[in-house]
Amino acid sequence: MAAIGRKYDVAGRDARNRRLGKAGEELILHRERQLLSQAGRNDLANKVRWTAEQDGDGAGYDIASFEPDGRQRMIEVKTTNGWERTPFHISRNELAVAEARRDDWHLIRVWNFARVPQAFALRPPLDAHVELTATSFLAALR
């Protein structure tokens, strides 16, 4: 077991995943601003916020944007270099915000990022679209 742990660079993997996630968020941030500008809503395009970068990564979404009619869009971006069915991680907080704000919350799934980025959207309830599997647990001593 120790030999496996030394060969696998967990910190390096996490750093690469953070960079990839940030790059995917930036791509979607620019796309949101562009779509609003094309819809004649430069006023809203200028208000789009990269909340994960500007406010921290605890809001349950990465980008605060708008529909062309002014309604709020809360966008969580999930990016991988793999194909569209490559599993991705989602936090308990992100799931809670998705459930609480179903009308406003959008998951944008970016895949094939390193080659030709592709994207699609998923709307709550997420368990209608994906199989949610617990991959870690918080263990509190009794």
Mean pLDDT taken over the chain: 94
Q: pTM of the entire structure?
A: 0.89
33-45 tens-digit pLDDT: 999 999 999 999 9
Per domain, the residue ranges of the chain are 2-126
Residue 2, pLDDT > 90, answer no
pLDDT confidence bin for 13, thresholds 50/70/90: confident
pLDDT confidence bin for 121, thresholds 50/70/90: very high
**CATH class in words for 2-126:** alpha beta
54-74 tens-digit pLDDT: 999 899 999 999 999 999 999
β-bridge partners, 106: 75
